[in-house]
Structure 1
């Protein structure tokens, strides 16, 4: 939810971590990633941007660095992201199976729309579809990066982390935009049709009484 800048900021520590780990070792890579994360945090706060993505990003890098340090392996830096992808794949997938699509609830909550969309079939289908797209995206990240992790391909892990971050997220975000548009149109159509139906019923009743 940090937008384009959030995607860039979240990738910078990875871009720094991988080559420094190969050239100078794990400890230097951890320090460098933390320094980059600290710089990003300070930069975003100085620009008075929303603090939550900056702070959560900083702690995310810190946790990844801690895991790598405790494991004594550079690839440990990616472990949290790998299993987080699996977690979200399951959450999004299950939400579609039980007809409670996550994207619909997030849209309703963040935009103050409530759960009105659940009463409109076309809106529910749109949110089902895009939630399934996100589930597939997260599952693909897990499968690819987990295989690279098991193969000890730290360099390719960094490449996969970035390549499956920006491009896939952008495509899924675009799909989410269109799904929301479809849902909004469907809800408006239903809202317009309902007053007409009520008016028709009222006219019919008055006609009967007149007869």
Structure 2
């Protein structure tokens, strides 16, 4: 974190708000993530044909990737959508059950839930890495945020919000999966995706606005970054 940026932000909360705004993606990435799922549910509801629904979703993901390539724009979000759609197709085609298309996402959410809790307990909170991703100097000092004790404490509190997001997501999706409610799973995946993430970010923003944690960067680090 540069000395100029730290001087402009008087508290840890102000600095984190700046970094999160730089790290979060926009509406296009969320749309690219949702479109393959929408295509899958639409075709499944219309024809009850698993292969048609799966390959339509894969086709939508590939088209989105091609559009990105033609426009020479970042493939970050659409690449994730292609991988997720490919895994969903593999699980569904292998078992022959449409609801298994949602199993990889649920397993990933479970892994994120466990990983986020562990990151808090070992004092490497997951939100800290999002903060670091917004640092233009991240290539030189990817873990610089961790040298600030106040930053670690605030990022730990914010990481508990992520834990809540994953708990809400799984508590809704697991019963629907066990009941083989394919259409409801599709709707839940979309609603519990970007909209739920935005709700979590709103809670983080509320915590940041209310907080007033002073920066506690090690003096030696402050001198080296000036």
Q: How many residues align?
A: 192
Task: Give the TM-score of the pair, scaled to structure 2.
Answer: 0.74
Hey, what does 1:23 align to over in structure 2? 46
The Cα of 1:159 is off from its aligned counterpart by 0.9
Larger radius of gyration: 1
| Equivalence map 1:1-211=2 (5 Å) | 2-24=25-47, 25-108=49-132, 111=135, 112=138, 114-176=142-204, 186-187=214-215, 190=216
Hey, what does 1:205 align to over in structure 2? none
The Cα of 1:118 is off from its aligned counterpart by 3.2
RMSD: 2.8
The Cα of 1:107 is off from its aligned counterpart by 2.1
Measured against aligned partners, the alpha-carbon deviations of 1:13-55 in whole angstroms (never above 9, x if no partner) come to 1111112112211111011101111111111122221123322
Hey, what does 1:208 align to over in structure 2? none
Give unmatched runs, 5+ long, in structure 2.
1-23, 221-226
The Cα of 1:76 is off from its aligned counterpart by 1.0
Measured against aligned partners, the alpha-carbon deviations of 1:63-116 in whole angstroms (never above 9, x if no partner) come to 111111111011111000011000000000111122220111342255225444
Task: Give the TM-score of the pair, scaled to structure 1.
Answer: 0.79
CA distance in 2, matches of 1:172, 1:58: 25
Task: Report which structure shows greater RCO (CA 8 Å, sep ≥6).
Answer: 2
Give unmatched runs, 5+ long, in structure 1.
196-211
